[in-house]
Amino acid sequence: MKNINNHYFRRRGIETPFFILMLLFSGVSISSQQIGEVVFPRVVTEEASFRVVRLAGDLNYPWALAFLPDGSFLVTERPGRLLHLDTRGVRREIQGLPRVVASGQGGLLDLVLHPDFDSNQLIYFTYAAPGPGGSSTALARARLSEFRLMDFQVLWTMEKKTTAGQHYGSRLVFDSKGFLYMTTGERGDSSRARDPSDSAGKVLRFREDGSVPADNPFVNRAGYLPEIFSLGHRNPQGLALRPGTGQIWLTEHGPRGGDEINLVKRGADYGWPVTTYGVAYSGARIAESPTAPGIEPPVHHWTPSIAPSGLAFYNGKAFSFWEGNLLSGSLAGKQLVRVILEGDSFRREEVLIRDTLGRLRDVRVGPEGLVYLLTDSPKGELLRLEPLP
């Protein structure tokens, strides 16, 4: 494995017309109005070379990215702003958001489009919602009309509020059957993660209207919330559907070490805090063993921690050698990591970018097969990886 650090970034430009011709020849479609500013002209990795282009800057802690059918973007900013960015770089604020508690790790968080967005214009988002006792993770949907949210609905809210400012989870993904999955963190209280009567530290599964599917694993089971799909998670901030399958994969933050990649299985217990490869921030041991009977082990763990956030399976033509690989951003590690799987098992990984772009909050694969990143900063950026010969 080859770690790509600063000295791999070649600071020699490439002519834009040649780049466009190369993309057209490879079958990748891109608007000339979206060229942006080249941040690094060449990054050399094992299977591909690419350049990094800045499409937008001065974003205030951007958290999530969505692609609109016309080629423009929606971006959430954690302090509580939803932006529309067009292909010329013009940004407009979307009006009509609910009250958001922007404190600690909370705020306006993930965002996904309804699978039939072209016809219904529905978007779904998560945020820290206020209430008696503090705040908690909430799920809402609304119809996007020009630059305003209409028909706003709160679909689900975590019942127990707390003044703690950490571990909201909040990633969203629709599966191939139209069910919506949502992650929740345990809000800094590890005892909540495996409590079946508490929605914290879980993967939840809903119908598109926020109702609970009848085939959820704990429906009609005494003591269990019916929306729970899996439990025992610490703070999952990466969630992705594996193309061509019904599989949902996630990444979650461990404590000091023990960050995990997990294949989400219905009704499974992922063990936090009974099992973990990490230790407490003090260095004290948390779990007697990283594995235990009845606990689903991680597919892979990162120790020391990289703080994974943002997860996507690569599916496209632009980086064909990455087909089927997982791409994970990281906060503490400031990395973009390519994870190569063999079936449902971890094979190896490659660090594509390290300590160069900053904390990577979100990773998305665009409809044209290019890779997009959001950096976690008060001067955050929307970046794109574009292939080079």
Does any domain span residue 211? no
65: phi > 0 → left, psi -120 to 50 → alpha, else beta; which?
Answer: beta
% of the chain at pLDDT higher than 70: 91
With a cut of 90, say whether residue 334 has pLDDT above it. Answer: yes
Does any domain span residue 179? no
With a cut of 60, say whether residue 25 has pLDDT above it. Answer: no
Does any domain span residue 117? no
With a cut of 90, say whether residue 73 has pLDDT above it. Answer: yes
Does any domain span residue 75? no
Active-site pick, 167, 253, 300, 301: 167
| Structural domain harbouring 43 | 1-56+305-389
Confidence of residue 35 (pLDDT cuts 50, 70, 90): low
With a cut of 80, say whether residue 8 has pLDDT above it. Answer: no
- C-alpha to C-alpha distances, 379 to 60, 71, 146, nearest whole angstrom: 6, 23, 26
Does any domain span residue 93? no
Does any domain span residue 236? no
The answer to whether 233 is a known catalytic residue is no
- Calculate mean pLDDT across residues 142-166: 97
Does any domain span residue 10? yes
Q: What is the pLDDT of residues 113-125, one digit of tens each?
A: 999 999 999 999 9
The CB density around residue 281, as the number of other CB atoms within 10 Å, is 8
With a cut of 80, say whether residue 296 has pLDDT above it. Answer: yes
What's the one-letter identity of residue 275? T
Does any domain span residue 388? yes
With a cut of 90, say whether residue 17 has pLDDT above it. Answer: no
Q: How many domains does the chain have?
A: 1
Q: What is the pLDDT of residues 215-251, one digit of tens each?
A: 999 999 999 999 999 999 999 999 999 999 999 999 9
